[in-house]
Structure 1
Amino acid sequence: MSEEDERNLGRQTHPQIVKEFGGTYDDPTLAAYVAGLGQRLVEVCETPAAEFRFTVLNSQIVNAMALPGGYIYVTRGLLALTSNEAEIAGVLGHEIGHVLARHTAERVSRAQATGLFAAVLGAVVGVPGVADVAQMGAAAYLQSFSRDQESEADHLGLRYLVRGGWHPKAMVTMLEKLREQARLDALMAGRSPDSIDQLDFMASHPRTIDRVNATMAEVAGVTPQGAWGTDTFLDRIDGMVYGDDVDQGVVRDRVFAHPKLDLRFEVPTGFRMVNGEKSVVAAHPSGAAIMFDGAPARGVSDMRAYIRQVWLKRSQLSGLEAIDINGMAAATAATRGRTKQGEADVRVVAIRYDAETIYRFTFVTPQAQTTQLSTELRRATYSFRRLTAEEKAAVKPWRLRVRKVQAGDTAEKLAATMAPGQWQIELFRALNGLTAGQQPEPGQRVKLVVA
């Protein structure tokens, strides 16, 4: 790709990336702060006149990415994990390195050469069936760089970090935070935390532990001096929305509630929900999964006809029948599918919410688990209903609050004050860069998630 091609692709794709990741986060002061850090790094890179655009995405996913043409993105989920200015500068420097080394352009050029360019754009813009159902398709694809490319971007990011006046060790501490977040994600999904060292962060980078070790070795040769910018950064993110944005619907333990769409449902014990831009996905350690989404009615009022003629017209269906879900006309049917684990049973449910809108459940179970899970999945189906006025008013966003540790405070005590959840202490440690057993020190500022 030529440089002009890169700029054009970035310009065309930018609005679609923003849409897929929940829009831009509505905090102009924070956006200007992040952009200022990015521009400070650009000024000390090899091409200080290059044009870059920095965007904070309104997504809870912990991620950063780059498009050809100088479009750099960080999510508020990543900002929440970050503890100081130097760490986020290291992330931005890494992404700037990908752009200047033309890694993003190389990926697109390679895809064009192999006839996969449509798939690249499909992943970026979220074409159904291409992007990951949990809203991670574009990020995972764009960041699927080779080990050498990641190493080069880490090297360049460290160079720009030091030139910008920040402490080089921030590259190491940020990578360690990403690894601990990945370990927490694995724990919450019912997997061994140690399993993440067999793969990479978001299945797109080389193993994070390898990047930590390599960066530690490189940092050892750099003069250990520079700013951290801890207080400045924490002041900027104090009060930032954490987790789901209310306008996008919220996951609260096993319940999904969406005040704007006026709906809620509940998934069985053992399923972990992720709220995406286009769907809500719940996964079970057994391999079972639930996907919830919406679709236009397309003039079809009979839900049996919708399943048979619109939704799954090419599938072999069994047990197609009409049902009633809390006063709403619905229908259900069964079919078969295949997952990475092998053959699976699939049950679908279509619910006529109003004249224009249909909401849909897709339940996927390994064949050996179908009978065992059937009752709980049926309960999930019939938990779908409209919200009461009181329930709507009660849905509030969780926020990140910065507090100073007082004498007598422990990690356990502080974690117990956070928004309710099964993983309070683990989340507190991940957000504040504390290892197992490590305690915050009096006077230290820490991040809490509050309701």
Structure 2
Amino acid sequence: MRRPSVAIAAALSLSLLTSCQVAPGTGQSNFNIVSAEEEAKMGAEAHPDIMSQFGGAYDDPKLQAYVAGIGKRLAKNTETPTAPFRFTILNSTVVNAMALPGGYIYVTRGLMSLAGDEAELAGVMGHEIGHVTGRHTAQRHSQAMAANVATGVLGAVLGAVTGVGGLGDIAGLAAGAYVQGYSRDQESEADSLGVRYMATSGWDPDSMATFLAKLREQSRLEALLAGQSPDKIDEHSMFASHPRLIDRVKEAAALADKGGSRQGAVGREAYLANIDGMLVGDDPSEGVVRGRVFSHSGLGIRYEVPQGFRLSNGTKAVTAAHSDGSVIRFDMGPEAHGDMTNYLQSQWAKGTRLANIEAITINGMPAATGLARLNTNRGAMDARLLAVKDGKAVYRLMFLTKPQATADHTEDFRRTTYSLRHLTEAERGQIKPLRLRIITVKSGDTVESLAEKMPYDDHKLERFRVLNGLSDTASLKPGQKLKMVI
């Protein structure tokens, strides 16, 4: 009775392992069990998650249409010119671009701030289109399914012998693989396809290499702002993996050399004109970070983190990180039922053993705090939880430290706790968004004098250089167009 099940499982495994489809972009046959219709469904299902995670679509129809026009021009010069593609600017400061199967292509406004011309943006979008036409997600998904079905086949065979059945949760494992990064070969393939689409569409393919170099400089700046050595990014960076960014710069430059199409357009003036006035940094509707202070005009609150912590505003939480691994996390919780000590123990930290639970008052708002020792993926961490009630709203602060660093931050965390307060009407009115403005260099202007006008508390010169792709030795010429944050 059990032998047929083994045969069916083996046949299923053989079917998976012999399933190949041709990727339109490369013309090569690759292992792939996902149909084009299934890819479209995968993209449609994942699209809302991407929108939620990255702040939704940026609210600027004119700029959205401009970027979509660049994308459509590229798409018409792919191997599938009639395939549906959807292009979206995400309302996020993160410098990122991504693609979903089914033709969903995304760039963030953070990435658009970094790009200096149409060709650089076209290089990014061409690369992401290459992931779609190369069917890289489908291949990754198929490989994950095959691996797990093979595991399931082994389980079925063992079950036939031992009477223990179960194929395992293939769907869950495949979903885990779905969000993993592309392989080195797939990244290089997407570079190759992107260069091809750029050149055929009339843009200078060298711009892919120049933008990859800018990504490297942006990563170095991020490390500097986080109090780390910029030199680390060549080995560990979200942009440097599969392959490392420094290698991809060289590879993309070599691909551009092979094409021989160095007469393509750059489109700097048109690009700068379109991004002039674009939002930079936090969207005020989600609160803003100014140095070590987070303020939210809608909620009417603000708080300040200690020296040495760098604030970062996300869609679900505001985090402040220290170079020693300590973290301060701020978010909002569900409405409290009962007093705040009950909320702390029964709602927020339910199931966690808390010590030293105490009811306190923070600038007229009822609150409660407590301590816990947590096991995290970074090892044991001390956690101080703080829940503050403001009408029906509940603000939550979690202070995380490695045990050996807890004492060093105790007083700093106390000050942050009591810095949480309501904004005055005058303070609410002062919360203005930062915007990207295109300026014209005047006689006497220098990199240093212009950088000093940047509205930041630290590393103004480095920020200005990276924003404009200026080297350490670059000089300015009157009439030159540059980006400035105002």
State TM-score, norm by structure 2: 0.85
Matched, 1:386 2:419: no
* Alpha-carbon distance, 1:92 to partner: 0.4
The residue number in structure 2 matching 1:445 is: 481
Give secondary structure in 2 for the equivalent of 1:369: helix
Cα separation, partners in 2 of 1:344 and 1:396, compared to 1, 3 Å: same
The residue number in structure 1 matching 2:233 is: 196
Equivalent pairs counted in the alignment come to 431
* Alpha-carbon distance, 1:198 to partner: 0.6
Of 409, 415, 425, the match for 2:445:
409
Cα separation, partners in 2 of 1:284 and 1:190, compared to 1, 3 Å: same
Counterpart Cα distance in 1 of 2:484 and 2:170: 44
Give secondary structure in 2 for the equivalent of 1:446: strand
The residue number in structure 1 matching 2:269 is: 231
Cα separation, partners in 2 of 1:80 and 1:142, compared to 1, 3 Å: farther
Counterpart Cα distance in 2 of 1:122 and 1:248: 29
The residue number in structure 2 matching 1:397 is: 433
Of 316, 320, 326, the match for 1:288:
326
The residue number in structure 1 matching 2:210 is: 173
* Alpha-carbon distance, 1:12 to partner: 2.4
Question: 2:219·2:233 contact (CA, 8 Å) conserved in 1?
Answer: yes
Question: 2:240·2:246 contact (CA, 8 Å) conserved in 1?
Answer: no
Question: 1:66·1:142 contact (CA, 8 Å) conserved in 2?
Answer: no
Alignment of 1:190-269 (within 5 A): 190-202=227-239, 205-223=242-260, 224-269=262-307
* Alpha-carbon distance, 1:346 to partner: 0.9
Once the two structures are overlaid, the 10-residue window that deviates more, 96-105 or 7-16, is 7-16
- Counting aligned pairs with the same residue, the percent is 52
Matched, 1:372 2:408: yes
Question: 1:162·1:226 contact (CA, 8 Å) conserved in 2?
Answer: yes
The residue number in structure 2 matching 1:361 is: 397
Cα separation, partners in 2 of 1:187 and 1:167, compared to 1, 3 Å: same
Matched, 1:308 2:345: yes
Give secondary structure in 2 for the equivalent of 1:201: coil
- Letter of the 2:97 counterpart: A
Counterpart Cα distance in 2 of 1:32 and 1:337: 47
- Letter of the 1:283 counterpart: A
* Alpha-carbon distance, 1:202 to partner: 4.8
The residue number in structure 2 matching 1:18 is: 51
Counterpart Cα distance in 1 of 2:173 and 2:337: 31
Cα separation, partners in 2 of 1:108 and 1:203, compared to 1, 3 Å: farther
* Alpha-carbon distance, 1:311 to partner: 1.4
* Alpha-carbon distance, 1:444 to partner: 1.7
Cα separation, partners in 2 of 1:448 and 1:116, compared to 1, 3 Å: farther
Return 5+ residue gaps in structure 2 as ranges: 1-33, 149-168
Of 47, 52, 66, the match for 1:33:
66
Give secondary structure in 1 for the equivalent of 2:312: strand
The residue number in structure 2 matching 1:131 is: none
The residue number in structure 2 matching 1:8 is: 41
Q: Deviations over 1:402-427 (max 9, x none)?
A: 11112221111111112132021111
Cα separation, partners in 2 of 1:295 and 1:119, compared to 1, 3 Å: farther
State TM-score, norm by structure 1: 0.92
* Alpha-carbon distance, 1:263 to partner: 1.2
Counterpart Cα distance in 1 of 2:218 and 2:171: 32
Question: 2:239·2:245 contact (CA, 8 Å) conserved in 1?
Answer: no
Give secondary structure in 2 for the equivalent of 1:153: helix
Question: 2:98·2:128 contact (CA, 8 Å) conserved in 1?
Answer: yes
* Alpha-carbon distance, 1:437 to partner: 2.7
Of 262, 276, 280, the match for 2:314:
276
* Alpha-carbon distance, 1:439 to partner: 2.2
The residue number in structure 1 matching 2:184 is: 147
Counterpart Cα distance in 1 of 2:357 and 2:188: 53
Of 44, 47, 51, the match for 2:77:
44
Return 5+ residue gaps in structure 1 as ranges: 124-140
Question: 2:216·2:239 contact (CA, 8 Å) conserved in 1?
Answer: no
Question: 2:92·2:110 contact (CA, 8 Å) conserved in 1?
Answer: yes
Once the two structures are overlaid, the 10-residue window that deviates more, 210-219 or 37-46, is 210-219
Q: Deviations over 1:358-407 (max 9, x none)?
A: 11011111111111111001111111111111111000000000111122
* Alpha-carbon distance, 1:204 to partner: 5.4
RMSD, matched Cα? 1.8
Counterpart Cα distance in 2 of 1:266 and 1:203: 33
Q: Whose Rg is larger?
A: 2
Of 84, 91, 108, the match for 1:75:
108
Q: Deviations over 1:19-71 (max 9, x none)?
A: 22111111111100100000000111111111100001111110000111000
Q: Deviations over 1:321-373 (max 9, x none)?
A: 11111111111111112345432211111111223x21101111111111111
